[in-house]
Structure 1
Amino acid sequence: MRLRLEFTTEPFDLDEPPAHAVVAREVIEAADLDAVDVGPFGNTAEGPADPVLTAVDTLLRRSLAAGATRVSLQINVIEEDDR
């Protein structure tokens, strides 16, 4: 099964990425995922279910510890045709 993850961390800071956003980006970029796209207003990644779910666990734990007050995420099952 392949999954697509979309997430944001808050609070936002338009002048400089907050620590929780930097940590979230590092977690996703270090995970064994495909099609990683990080940006100031949203982030996406795709990959097999196990690496995505492992990355989500690490993302939540580390970004909350780094000061995130809210993490919004959505996970969708994707078909091979959707890529």
Structure 2
Amino acid sequence: MRLRVEFTTEPFDLDEVPAHAVVAREVVQDAELDSVDVGPFGNTAEGGAEAVLGTVDTLLRRSLAAGATRISLQVNVIGAGEGGR
């Protein structure tokens, strides 16, 4: 199964990148995922289910420890078998 995760961390800071956002970026970029797209208002990563789920666990733990007060995420099944098959 392949998954796509989309996430944002808060609070936002328009003057400089918050520590929790830097940590989140490092987590997804260092993970063994097939693709990663990091942007100022949202981030996306794709890969196998185990890689994505492990990355989400690390992302949540490390971002919260770095000061995130809210992490919004969405996980979707992608590719063959979309729709839960």
- The aligned counterpart of 1:71 is 71
Unaligned runs of 5+ in 1: none
Cα displacement string for residues 15-61 of structure 1 (whole angstroms, at most 9, x for unaligned residues) = 11100000000000000011200011000010000000000000000
- The aligned counterpart of 1:43 is 43
* Letter in structure 2 aligned against 1:77: V
Identity %: 78
**1:62 to 2:25 alignment:** no
Shift of the 50–37 alpha-carbon distance from structure 1 to 2, 3 Å rule, reads same
Root-mean-square deviation (Å): 1.4
Unaligned runs of 5+ in 2: none
Q: How many residues align?
A: 82
TM-score normalised to structure 2 length: 0.92
Please state which structure has a larger fraction of its residues in helix. Answer: 1
- Ranges of 4+ aligned residues in structure 1 off by more than 4 Å: none
